Structure 1
Amino acid sequence: MEIVYLCDHPELINELAELNFKEWGHFRADDTVEGRIEHLQANAGKGSVPTVMVAIEDSQLLGGAMLLTRDMAARAELTPWLAGVYVKEEHRGRGIASQLVARIVQEAATLGVPELYLYTDTSQTLYARQGWEVLEQRVYQGLDVTVMMRGTAAP
């Protein structure tokens, strides 16, 4: 398994967009697969914020994660954000999500970003194990979420 830039594997954009839509599309009434494709294309940078990383094995997509300038309109002053961490169900339990998160943190550190933010409704434990700290609890888009932050310097 390797974690690589999505921009180097554009053939995976549609599949990742479909997976992201199935996972989170119901949170926004105006969300579409096409909108997700456009979002991934617009954010699939390399050596910059934004960027999208994907985990692949034998040319097959396992999952992905994004480094975005903004991910929560209610906290627009916080930047940048880890977002869209997703691993296909059949590949979960292998530590892929943790590796994707670590790779995004590494990318941010390389870019000179001192700290990152994220929000989650269900995965606080996953992130806490990797050094993320709770910043606040809030309701966002009708969900109870936890906003977390993490410095990018190695512990």
Structure 2
Amino acid sequence: MQIDYLCDHPQLIGELAELNFKEWGHYRPGDTLEARTERMRAACGKGAVPSVVVAIEDGTLLGGALLIDSDLDLRPQLTPWLAGVYVKAEHRGRGIASQLVKRIVEEAAALGVPELFLYTDASQSLYARLGWEVVEELDYDGLPVTLMKYAVTR
């Protein structure tokens, strides 16, 4: 398995956008797969914010993660964010999500970013194991979420 920039594998943009749309699209009423795909294409930076990394094995997409400016309308002052960490169900339990998160942290460190933020409704324990700290518990459009941060430069 390798973790690489999505921009180096443009044939996977549509597939990753579709996985993200199926997982989280219902949180954005009115969103479409086409709009999600265009946002994914626009986020395909390399060594910058935004960037997208993907886990690939034998040419197959296993999952991905994003480094973006903002991901939570309730906290627009916080930047940048780890977002869209997703691993296909059949590849979970192999540490892929952890490797994707670590790669985004490395990308942020290379950019001199002091802190990263994320929010999650179900993966608090994964992020805590990776050194993320809880900032606060929030209600985000009726969904209880945990806002977390990671001190990139320690």
TM-score tier (shorter): over 0.9
* Other-structure match for 1:7: 7
Cα RMSD (Å): 0.8
- The separation in 1 between residues aligned to 2:100 and 2:142, in whole angstroms, is 27
**SS in structure 2 at match of 1:73:** coil
Structure 2 residue 49 is the aligned partner of structure 1 residue 29: no
Which residues of 2 match residues 1-155 of structure 1 at below 5 A? 1-153=1-153
Q: List alignment gaps of at least 5 residues for structure 2.
A: none
Listed one character per residue, the Cα deviations across residues 43-93 of structure 1 (whole Å, up to 9, x for unaligned) are 110110010000000111000000000101110000000000000000000
Misfit runs of 4+, over 4 Å: none
**SS in structure 2 at match of 1:49:** coil
- The separation in 1 between residues aligned to 2:7 and 2:149, in whole angstroms, is 26
- The separation in 2 between residues aligned to 1:24 and 1:96, in whole angstroms, is 19
> What TM-score do the two structures reach when normalised by structure 1?
0.97
Q: List alignment gaps of at least 5 residues for structure 1.
A: none
- The separation in 2 between residues aligned to 1:141 and 1:81, in whole angstroms, is 19
Instruction: Supply the AA of the counterpart residue of 1:49.
Output: V
> What TM-score do the two structures reach when normalised by structure 2?
0.98
Identical pairs, percent = 68
Q: Report if the CA contact (8 A) 2:112-2:153 is conserved.
A: no
Q: Report if the CA contact (8 A) 2:69-2:81 is conserved.
A: yes
Paired positions, count: 154
- The separation in 1 between residues aligned to 2:65 and 2:48, in whole angstroms, is 14
**SS in structure 1 at match of 2:67:** strand
**SS in structure 1 at match of 2:46:** coil
Listed one character per residue, the Cα deviations across residues 103-148 of structure 1 (whole Å, up to 9, x for unaligned) are 0000000010011000000000000000000000011122100000
